[in-house]
Amino acid sequence: MNAIEINNLHKTFGDIKAVDGVSLNVQEGEIFSLLGPNGAGKTTTISILSTLLKPDNGDALVLGHSIQNEPMKVKEALGVVPQDIALYEDLSARENLYFWGRMYGLRGAQLKQRVSEILDIIGLSDRQNGRVGKFSGGMKRRVNIGVALLHKPKVIYMDEPTVGIDPQSRRSILDSVVALKDQGMTVLYTTHYMEEAQELSDHIAIMDNGKLIANGTHDELVKLVGQLDRITLTINPESKQIVDIWKLTPGVQTISAEDGILTLLVDDSNRVLPRLFETASVNGVRITSVEIQVPNLETVFLHLTGRALRD
Amino acid sequence: MKIIYIAIKDMTRSMRSTFAVLFMFGVPLLVTGMFYFMFGNIAAQGNGFDLPVARIVIVNLDEKSPNMQLGASMMGTLDGQNADNLGEIIVRTLQSKQFADLLKVTIATDLANARNAVDKNVADVALIIPADFSSRYFDQGSVSVQSGLELYSNPEKTIELAVLQSIMGQFMDALSGAKIAASVTANHASNLDYAVIGKVVQEYFAGANQQSFNPRTLINVKSVTKVADPNPVAGIVGPIMAGMMVFYAFYTGMTTAESILREDEEGTLSRLFTTPTSRTVILAGKFLAVGLTVLVQVVVLIVAAWLIFKIQWGDPIAVMLIALGTVLAASSFGIFANSLIKSTKQGGVIYGGVLTVTGMLGMIKIFTLQVPNTTPMMQTVSLLVPQGWAVNGFLQSAAAASITDTLVTVVVLLLWSIVFFSIGAWRFQRRFS
């Protein structure tokens, strides 16, 4: 059964099509990742699904409730972890949880018990009376997630919850996402980190420029690329001329250049790489690093858009 | 209940800000305290300070009573000019050089002219001496407040009223003593010797102690339900405190309402909108927080000023009404002003400009309180802004103005509030719809 059904969503801001005809289904109890670079339309999609924004067209059902016609039912059913930390920094972790719990309709002993449980889950029981403003970025992120779990939602949206935090906190958050799935929650997770989507997701949808450009399991998406190898090169000095030459080199399917780093999809790296070194040498360009990768989601994105999936 | 939870959360946040608390309570009390100690020190050093010259208009309707034997003989003793009635003595006393530095006395021909002079701000206080004042005074059995002197004053002229009340109080005390002395002397005049003089003195004091009525009760202040505190320092500091309180109440209204913009920028407002709480409830909670915060501030300042500076705010009900009107006006003004602002970055500049201009306009009354012969326009200008009405209300209350005058001020403040709140709430609803 589908926890979320998105049908032909559109949202425009001025001349910019932030969401352009997105349709997808998220099954109950799975982790579904929306992957895409910044500005791809992931947050706008989440905002529409959270009833924060009204779509220009289309609709979505969350546990069978229309975001257009039953927004309050939708809000009751879901928890939202916003991209930026949305907490009251001059209140303690406990006070924040109490306040947000009340906003989700919790009261009395139930609220008290749930706040204690959440403090345990996010590992901040011993810091519960500390003001959030004095917490580290990782601790704030954990409280930020804790707030969304207070009312035991069946569906949770997590909008890039690991942005700007240390590796240890990131690991902790990724583990907690898996734990939520194990508890039966449906998680809609947005990220521009390919590794996160790859590690966590049952299904992945790739967005770019407001459009859904691919949707499936990790293996299904990688199959889109076929047997192409991905080569990442660093050259010195930067040269547009060499990029143009390499585009015409036999075996090179796509090439993208950004900040002196070139990413190529090639038929067979063993045959293509010597040709690249040769033309580089002839044109006075030095290749300072080479990395060959088997196909992954980055490769898929590069294959589909001709651009690398970076910040 | 969610409205209350949102309001409590916002108030908790406000009260945890040292900066906010300082501006809510510290600065108004500090500024007033500076004036209090400044005037207090001058008074303590015996140098005094410049009291305004009170403009008094007197209408003397007092008549000579044919049965006033004792009074007639007293009148000659007291005045030396064979006055016909006590009213004449009062007029001459107040016109004497002794009070020239304090009083500027004019005479009105009738009651209407005297009151009219006060109403038009030509005079600060009208002293009305009733027709039967002399005869009633010399017949103690029928003395009543109704037959006493009437003081009709401009409610804002608290100091002028206090000065005249003080002079008339002393005058009535002296008159009372003289009456007893004259009475005793008349009884013993035929056997005048040292023993008689001793008895006169003895009986004078005995008479004074047995006096069954307080001659000061003969001073009946009209348009005033309670005699103002004669403490001149509190009288001067009171309006300053009122001004500071109103100015900073509006400041608090503005900065507390800013939390709507701040929460929008910090993302917590968006997050609130993702909870099963309607946007109307969320905004109502935010608005309630503004009102409650200003209410706490105003109540604390009123009580603190009363305790610390001994400021008499006036009738409690009148003070409550004016305080409520001020709280509503300040809160709604803050909501209105913030609804016009796009971000908190704009807020700093706009708050400073708007609050300074409207605050200064509103306090013109206080600035000109001690300035004689201010034009009516000066008083009117301050009423162009809600702060002016709030200040006006507290001055009226302190001067024990009539309930009608107080209610007019409260109603005007409520009207300001309705207009500000309607526009502000509508704009915020539209912004976050």
Q: Closest by alpha carbon to B140, among B149, B129, B148, B131?
A: B148
Q: Which residue on chain A is closest to B269 by alpha carbon?
A: A86
Q: Which of B394, B382, B369, B397 is nearest to B121 (CA)?
A: B369
Of A149, A100, A91, A99, nearest to A120 by C-alpha is A149
- B427 near B340, Cβ under 8 Å? yes
Strands A186-191 and A203-208: unpaired
The string of pLDDT tens digits covering residues B27-82 is 888 888 887 777 665 555 555 455 678 889 999 888 876 555 555 555 554 445 56
- The alpha-carbon gap from B265 to the nearest alpha carbon of chain A, in Å, equals 10
Report CB contact under 8 Å: A100, B275.
yes
User: B256-275 pLDDT, tens per residue?
Assistant: 888 899 999 999 999 999 99
Chain B residue numbers touching A44 (CB-CB < 8 A): none
Give A3 to chain B, closest Cα distance, Å. Answer: 18
Q: In this predicted structure, what is the pLDDT of residue B328? A: 93
CB A60 within 8 A of CB A157: no
Residue, of B375 and B283, whose pLDDT is higher: B283
Q: With beta carbons under 8 A apart, name residues in chain A contacting B20.
A: none
CB contact under 8 A, A87 and B275: no
Average pLDDT, chain B: 78
Alpha-carbon distance B19 to nearest alpha carbon in chain A (angstroms): 13
Query: In whole angstroms, what is the distance from residue B118 CA to residue B127 CA?
Result: 10
In a mutational test of the A interface, the residue from B16, B271, B278, B282 whose CB has the highest number of chain A CBs within 10 Å is B271
A→B interface, C-beta within 8 Å = 50-52, 72, 75-76, 78, 80, 82, 84-88, 90-91, 95, 99-100, 102-105, 147
CA–CA min distance A256, chain B (Å): 36
Q: Which residue of B has its CA nearest to A75?
A: B276
3 state SS for chain B: CHHHHHHHHHHHHHHCCHHHHHHHHHHHHHHHHHHHHHHHHHHHCCCCCCCCCEEEEEEECCCCCCCCHHHHHHHHHHHCCCCCCHHHHHHHHHHCHHHCCCEEEEECCCHHHHHHHHHCCCCCEEEEECCCHHHHHCCHHHCCHHHCEEEEECCCCHHHHHHHHHHHHHHHHHHHHHHHHHHHHHHHHHHCCHHHHHHHHHHHHHHHHHCCCCHHHHEEEECCCCCCCCCHHHHHHHHHHHHHHHHHHHHHHHHHHHHHHHHHHHCHHHHHHCCCCCHHHHHHHHHHHHHHHHHHHHHHHHHHHHHHHCCCCCCHHHHHHHHHHHHHHHHHHHHHHHHCCCCHHHHHHHHHHHHHHHHHHHCHHHHCCCCCCCCHHHHHHHHHCHHHHHHHHHHHHHCCCCHHHHHHHHHHHHHHHHHHHHHHHHHHHHHCC
pLDDT of residue B18: 84
Residue tagged 């080569």 (tokens)? A231
Cα of A234 to nearest chain B Cα, Å: 39
Say yes or no for a CB contact (<8 Å) between A103 and B13. no
Residue A238's identity, in one-letter code, is E
Task: Provide the pLDDT for residue B139.
Answer: 64
- Which of A91, A102, A147 is closest, CB to CB, to B13? A91
Q: Any idea which of A131-145, B207-221, B291-305, B406-420 has the lowest mean pLDDT? A: B207-221
Pick B425 or A307 by higher pLDDT.
Answer: B425
Which residues in B lie closer than 8 A to residue A71 (C-beta atoms)? none
CA distance B303 to chain A (A): 29
- The pLDDT of residue B330 is 93
**With contacts defined as CB-CB under 8 Å, which chain A residues touch B277?**
103
Q: Which residues on chain B are in Cβ contact (under 8 Å) with A158?
A: none
Residue B243: is its pLDDT beyond 80?
yes
What residues have CB less than 8 Å from B155, skipping those under 6 apart? B223, B224, B395, B396, B399, B400, B401, B405
Contacts of B13 in chain A (CB under 8 A): 88, 90-91
Asked if A99 lies within 8 A of B16 by C-beta distance, the reply is no
Three-point CA angle A93, A96, A99, nearest 5°: 150
Nearest C-alpha in A relative to B17: A90
Q: Do B262 and B344 form a contact (C-beta atoms < 8 A)?
A: yes
The candidate with the shortest Cα–Cα distance to B124, out of B170, B164, B172, B171, is B164
Residue B230 pLDDT: 52
Nearest to A50 among B16, B274, B278 (CB): B274
Cβ pairs A/B, distance under 8 A: 54
Q: Is the ipTM of this complex over 0.90?
A: no
Residue A75 C-alpha, separation from nearest chain B C-alpha, in angstroms: 5
- Min Cα–Cα distance to chain A from B356, Å: 29
Token pair listed for A159? 């909008």
Percent of chain A with pLDDT over 90: 45
List all residues 6 or more positions away from A13 whose beta carbon is below 8 Å from its beta carbon: none
- CB contact burial B38-66 (16+ within 10 A = b; e otherwise): ebbeeeeeeeeeebebbbbbbbbebebbe
Contacts of B271 in chain A (CB under 8 A): 80, 82, 86, 100, 147
Q: Within its chain, how far is the Cα of B326 from the centroid?
A: 16
Stated pTM of the model: 0.67
Which range, B12-21, B324-333, B336-345, has the best average confidence (pLDDT)? B324-333
And the tokens for A201?
A: 């997701």
Check CB contact under 8 Å for A51 and B272: no
User: Which residues of chain B have a CB within 8 Å of the CB of A48?
Assistant: none
pLDDT at B212: 47
The answer to whether the CB of B275 falls within 8 A of the CB of A72 is no
- Quick one: closest CA in A to B265, which residue? A86
pLDDT, tens digit (0-9, with 9 covering 90-100), for A225-259: 777 888 889 988 777 888 889 988 888 888 888 87
Q: How many CB atoms lie within 10 A of CB A86?
A: 23
Query: How far B275 CA lies from chain A's nearest CA (Å)?
Result: 6
Chain A residues lying within 8 Å of B276, measured CB to CB = 72, 75-76, 103-105
The pLDDT value given to residue B145: 47
Tell me if A91 and B278 make a contact (CB, 8 A cut-off): no
Nearest residue in A to B9, CA atom: A99
Cβ–Cβ of B5/A80 closer than 8 Å?
no
Question: Residue B268 and residue A104: Cβ atoms within 8 Å?
Answer: no
CB contact under 8 A, A86 and B13: no
Residue B381's pLDDT is 82
pLDDT tens, B173-229? 777 776 676 666 666 665 545 555 555 545 554 555 454 445 445 555 554 433 444
Sign (positive or negative) of CA dihedral B200, B202, B206, B211: positive
In chain A, whose CA is at the least distance from the CA of B277?
A103
Query: Encoding tokens for residue A52?
Result: 């924060």
Helix H, strand E, coil C: the string for chain A is CEEEEEEEEEEEECCEEEEEEEEEEEECCCEEEEECCCCCCHHHHHHHHCCCCCCCEEEEEECCEECCCCHHHHHHHEEEECCCCCCCCCCEHHHHHHHHHHHCCCCHHHHHHHHHHHHHHCCCHHHCCCEHHHCCHHHHHHHHHHHHHCCCCCEEEEECCCCCCCHHHHHHHHHHHHHHHHCCCEEEEEECCHHHHHHHCCEEEEEECCEEEEEECHHHHHHCCCCCEEEEEEEECCCHHHHHHHHCCCCEEEEEEECCEEEEEECCHHHHHHHHHHHHHHCCCEEEEEEEECCCHHHHHHHHHCCCCCC
Question: What separation in angstroms does the CA of B273 have from each of A80, A107, B75?
Answer: 11, 19, 83
pLDDT at B235: 66
Residue A254 is predicted with a pLDDT of 87
Contacts of B278 in chain A (CB under 8 A): 72
Residue A114, beta-bridge partner list: none
The shortest CB-CB distance from B267 to any of A72, A82, A105 is to: A82
> Are A99 and B275 a contacting pair at CB < 8 A?
no
Q: Please give the backbone phi and psi of residue B154, each rounded to the nearest 5 degrees, phi first.
A: -70, 125
Q: Which of B5, B17, B278 faces A102 most closely, judged by CB atoms?
A: B5
pLDDT digits (tens, 9 = 90+) for A154-196: 999 998 888 877 888 888 888 888 988 998 999 999 988 888 8
Per-residue confidence band for B232, with pLDDT thresholds at 50, 70 and 90: low
**What residue in B sits closest to A49 (Cα-Cα)?**
B274
Crossing angle of the two packed helices B316-339 and B344-362, in degrees rounded to 10:
140
CA distance to A103, B231, B269, B271, per residue, from B286 (Å): 14, 42, 10, 15
The closest CB to that of A75, out of B9, B17, B274, belongs to B274
The answer to whether the Cβ–Cβ distance between B266 and A86 falls below 8 Å is yes
Contact A145, A173 (CB under 8 A): yes
* Angstroms from A268 CA to nearest CA on chain B: 48
- How far, CA to CA in Å, does B385 sit from each of B157, B241, B302, B311, B381? 22, 19, 22, 25, 8
